[in-house]
Structure 1
Amino acid sequence: MIDPRRLRVLRALAEHGTVTAAAQTLYLSPSAASQQLAALEAEVGHALLERRGRTVRLTATGTVLAAHATKIAAQLEQAEADMAACSEGVAGEVTIAAFASAITEVVAPAMAALRERAPQVRIRVKDAEGHASRRLLIDGAVDIAVTVAHQDAPGQNGEQLLREPLYAEPFDVVLPSGHPLAEASKVDLADLAEDPWITPWPGNPVHDVVLRACEEACFQPRVECLADDSRAVCALVSAGAGVALVPRSAVHGIAFGGAVIRPVSDYRPTRRVFTAVRRGSESHPLLRLALRELRDQAATLGS
């Protein structure tokens, strides 16, 4: 009989690439993780790891078993969801990972609404940008991720995660108030080709959208400042450090001071936001309740 706890270690190794990283994810010591993997090899009677000096890689058999481990994990999630569905009432805890503006515009209002509708449900939130929220979800640290498409995550972990569209929002141009285009009703990005730019750091999905939008306008932005926080970006624009593209919801409530915001007139970059859960957990009543409230709050963004 294969111990599913040892399969979890194998799956973590396949995800993270090293025994040390897998152990950290599972809150084990590297030696304990190695022992679990050795015991799993003894259970199945096959070599699962190929050791090369201080590194290891999965054998063909190990790769096959890791794929089964992913499916088994989904089945266990489904079993927990089914048992929860059979219980009476709705009470418990849901942890959501989301980026800052999604927390402000959708997650926090959803928490407030749920507190009124289902006071026995506790929502915990973790601020996580970009690919980090999906990693937290895969590793079991959160139950729901509010995330966006990202070029470094091919397939968006399709075998393990189930995604649903939440909302889409346009990007707007932020200009210093003294900029020649500050009085324009709309701005053509090509007219900003010679300006210095302020963007998020590489690795932030917004950075990818900005670069792609500039490529569509046939230029490569001259990036002079890097900041992930939208308030910091707007402050730098106000100081005359350059121009920027920001998601519309990210600038709600920001005092612009020496900056103005204008819609884009040509190619209109868009951020598409999704919810994601581990495959098999989607029927859990607590997750269904939280997801429904997130969708309800997202539907009000246009107004």
Structure 2
Amino acid sequence: MGRRVMVHVTEYADCGELMWATRLADSEGEYECWELLSPKAVHRVSVSDKCMATIAPSGQLVLAMLGMEQQSVTLRSCRALEGITGDEGRQLWEFHLGLALNESHGQMIQALWRFYAMLPPGGLRRFSLGILRDRRFITGFYRGRASHHHHHDHVGGLLEHSVEVAMTARMLCRQYRLDGRTADVAFLGGLLHDVGKLYLYYNVEAGEGICSQHEALNFMKLEPHLQSLMSQDPRAFEALSACLSASIGKPLIQYMPETIVKMADRLSAEVFNWRRVFAGLPDFYWFRKSTSDTRIYKRLD
């Protein structure tokens, strides 16, 4: 049965393309030759040394905007990704790309890096970089399942669901004109709200695994990174923690990211199940009973 993956990965399309930038050789005068390597192409550009003053000559991941002038590729803008430099940085970047199961997953992975690139300096940026550098966590996160028999229950489904929730949460923050920090926390809350599921039996190949409420396990999975965030940015830590915890028994919700993430989470699951019910059916089927949850789903078109 075919699967359609819907992920809002275009939000940062106007901020540039992720590329690995390396200075090819020292040049006399005020111009330098740089190589810009993307997953799909390699470009060489001649630019002012002032334009690349903040980029490590040995190599750095950047967000670059390219253009064309007189049939030659030109560099319109370039934004460095802090901390992703040299051989170590390039290996980390290639490690992430190498885990993509398909082109759609590759777009999701790049969306996460674009989000990191646009974060302002501070605790949330350092927290995000720590997550991206955690190879063991990233491997499980990119390959994990979001459930056993509910929604996004295939290999890679956890990444798909998490990115959907993150992007939708951020979009809702912008729609309601909430502040940037609220949008950033909502994105991270949506991205990480299910990571405790990596401990559950359907994501554990060796041993029995466990069967429990994943919200209680979210904090275990993120403990070293959350510890640093708590000391660097207590309010962001508190708001993010609310997104990661269960809502049962809470008298009220204090931070908006929690409300938004819960809504985006349910929407992602509902849309996935609705699509799965009608996958492969002729258009004249306007309702069908699900074999997984016994609900009757309907469609208008």
Q: What TM-score comes out, normalization by structure 1 length?
A: 0.25
TM-score, structure 2 normalization: 0.25
Which structure shows the bigger proportion of residues in strand conformation? 1
